[in-house]
């Protein structure tokens, strides 16, 4: 059976279909003082489950995942697989300034304590984060989001910053890869060096692991269009789309945005959600 946190039910229902299994329910209450209460609901106790849940910026998300893991342990139900499609706080994987908390390490430590036989993550943000996690399987979804027939319609693959370079090379095949330079003077601000890139008259596929506010993608697209790119398509595994991403992306010269459904499906106008459920089911 699959036991899913509330923020992953959109994927859990699809996975249940692909894996031919059911969903394990649970009850959540809050006491007068605000404390949470969790109770598993089943007629016949399963021997083991797949525990599925996203870690989002809301600390309640990881608490819910840990609470469900505790409920399973206290009920003597094993966790065959822990699956975390979206791992929040991954961008806080190192100290940029003195005194910062490396929250990716804290989140990884909490997940590592969950007694699962297998661990599955989707398109992790960095090698640093990969090293923080216990032995695991990582699912790379961009070839599903941009399948080979679609990919053949492009001339060049672009990484909007150095962090996306490995992903771009992995999906490019025989296509050339361009890695753009980016500078962040402060949080949520992106600056581009006035560099020239060989994109004139070319159909560009830009790839990244996630789209948050869209500033990185938009600033890259604006620069490439000014340099003569014929068209720009963007593909990312995790579509966060925090405000004001709709405004930022809709005003950028982007022809199409493709995003996976690790998070609850949402894309800006003209975008398309591609489900990763089938690929994830194979990994489970």
Kindly list the catalytic residues: 182
Find the Cα–Cα–Cα–Cα dihedral 184, 187, 188, 189, rounded to 10°. Answer: -40
Q: Is residue 8 exposed (0-12), middle (13-18) or buried (19+ Cβ within 10 Å)?
A: buried
Question: What SS3 state is found at 260?
Answer: strand
What is the C-alpha separation between 232 and 224, in angstroms, rounded? 8
CA distances from 185 to 188, 219, 249 (A): 9, 14, 21
What is the C-alpha separation between 141 and 85, in angstroms, rounded? 11
Three-state DSSP string of 6-37 = HHHHHHHHHHHHHHCCCECEEEEEECCCCCEE
Q: Which residues contact 226 (CB under 8 A, 6 or more apart)?
A: none
Identify which of 2, 83, 84, 81 has the alpha carbon closest to the alpha carbon of residue 40: 2
């Amino acid at each position: 059976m699959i036991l899913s946190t509330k923020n992953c039910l959109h994927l859990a229902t699809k996975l249940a279909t692909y894996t031919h299994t059911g969903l394990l329910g649970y009850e959540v209450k809050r006491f007068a003082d605000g404390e949470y209460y969790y109770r598993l609901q089943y007629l016949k106790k399963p021997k083991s489950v797949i525990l599925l849940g996203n870690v989002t910026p809301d600390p309640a998300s990881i608490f819910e995942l840990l609470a469900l893991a505790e409920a399973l342990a206290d009920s003597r139900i094993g966790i065959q697989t822990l699956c975390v499609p979206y791992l929040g706080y991954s961008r806080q994987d190192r100290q940029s300034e003195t005194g910062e908390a490396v929250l990716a390490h804290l989140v990884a430590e909490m997940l590592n304590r969950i007694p699962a036989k297998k661990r599955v993550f989707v398109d992790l943000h960095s090698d640093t984060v990969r090293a923080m996690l216990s032995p695991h399987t990582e699912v790379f979804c961009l070839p599903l989001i941009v399948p080979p027939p679609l990919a053949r319609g492009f001339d060049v693959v672009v990484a909007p910053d150095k962090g996306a370079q490995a992903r771009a090379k992995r999906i490019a095949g025989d296509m050339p890869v361009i890695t753009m330079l980016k500078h962040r003077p402060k949080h949520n601000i992106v600056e581009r060096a006035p560099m020239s890139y060989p994109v004139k008259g070319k159909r560009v596929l830009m790839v990244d692991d996630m789209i948050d506010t869209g500033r990185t993608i938009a600033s890259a697209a604006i620069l490439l269009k000014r340099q003569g790119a014929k068209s720009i398509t963007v593909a990312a595994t995790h579509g966060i789309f925090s405000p004001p991403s709709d405004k930022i992306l809709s005003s950028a010269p982007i022809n199409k945005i493709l995003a996976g459904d690790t998070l609850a499906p949402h894309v800006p106008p003209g975008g398309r959600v591609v489900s990763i459920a089938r690929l994830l089911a194979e990994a489970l």
